[in-house]
Amino acid sequence: MAFKKVIQIGAAGALGSPVFDAMVKAGFEVSVLARGASKTVYPDEVKVFKAEFSDHNALVEAFRGQDVVIVTTGGFFDIESTTIPLIDAAIEAGVKRFIPSGWGFDLYAGSGSWNEHLIPKYKVRDYLSKKATEGKITWTNIACGLFYDWMFDLGLFNIDIEKKRAGLYDTGDQKIMLTTLGSVADSVVGILKNPEGTKNRSLRIHDFFISNKEVLDTVESLTGVTFETYNISTDDMTAQSRLMPRTDQRVGVFALAISFGSARVVEWETPDDSQLLGLKTKDLREETEISLRKNKLLV
């Protein structure tokens, strides 16, 4: 039987918003947990709980009666200190399923000792897994590679329409998994509809398994522009990230480097779990056109 009642933390963000919309559209009873200072306005039918993550009793009260807690907040370095209190409160409130802010890399594929930037997320993973082993709660993690839309939104494909120049990571030939935000949102709905089949599993999804060059070829086809290309060394990016302050920007640079570089951290065997979660096949040209128009790179 599908889950019914869900409470979401981080419902107003770039990832959280499409996830929220997809759950509401699918007919789930969605509530939101927001910090006290939040001024985001939600539809009248959505119940909003205000609580600080340090207020255990308030968290328990917000989570009581919920089937699922889903976390779609960003951040890396503070993820352990913010998520573990949520897990503890969810357990006390009797929540059945916890979906942490995993996303991106498959946090369950290895120890993670090679990546100091993700250590807080690995600590959340281990804590949640331990509680599940004790029979106190279940979990589901989603690994989706890099967000295809975000790569355009944040300029991470390094495409300059005016100058007709584009940067390629290393040779541009490394293929990686990329997923649209819409598909990530749909995958959450798939989890909620299939509790048993997704229980205590890290699920891998993707829309595209393509290279930087293939993306650029698609952009050239849509725009009619032939780009002069230059190469961006992922080794240099890795070295640069280690000199940056401990911020999410530092993690972002490092994540790009290890994704498009030789580490191959967002490359896995197919078919993956996309079909299990009911994801429909996306058209690369169509999704690229949507992103180009959104970012005014195509008129």
Report pTM.
0.93
pLDDT per position as a tens digit, 48-70:
999 999 999 999 999 999 999 99
Q: Which CATH class is domain 5-144+179-204?
A: alpha beta
Measure the CA–CA gap between 45 and 85, rounded to whole angstroms: 27
Q: Are strands 159-160 and 165-169 parallel, antiparallel or unpaired?
A: antiparallel
Q: Domain 146-178+207-265+280-294: what homologous superfamily?
A: UDP-galactose 4-epimerase, domain 1 (3.90.25.10)
Q: Show the tokens assigned to 251.
A: 């993690």
How many Å apart are CA 163 and CA 196, to the nearest integer? 52
> Which tens digit of pLDDT belongs to each residue from 189-247?
999 999 999 999 999 999 999 999 999 999 999 999 999 999 999 999 989 888 888 88
**Site of tokens 């890290």:** 202
Q: Helices (H), strands (E): how many in the chain?
A: 10, 13
Residue 114 has pLDDT above 70, yes or no: no
Q: Which contiguous run of DSSP H or E holds residue 45?
A: none
Asked if the model's pLDDT at residue 110 lies above 70, the reply is no
Q: Cα–Cα distance between 54 and 235 in angstroms, integer?
A: 39
Residue 175 has pLDDT above 90, yes or no: yes
Write out the H or E segment, with its range, that includes residue 200: none
Supply 261's token pair. Answer: 């570089």
Share of the chain above pLDDT 90, in %: 75
Q: 248-260 vs 234-243: helix axis angle to the nearest 10?
A: 160
DSSP class of 42: -
Q: Is the pLDDT of residue 270 over 70?
A: yes
For residue range 154-171, list pLDDT tens digits in order: 999 999 999 999 999 999
Six-digit token pair at 262? 């030789």
- Whether residue 15 contacts residue 184, with contact meaning beta carbons closer than 8 Å, is answered with yes
Residue ranges of the chain assigned to CATH 3.40.50.720: 5-144+179-204
Q: Where exactly does CATH 3.90.25.10 map onto the chain?
A: 146-178+207-265+280-294
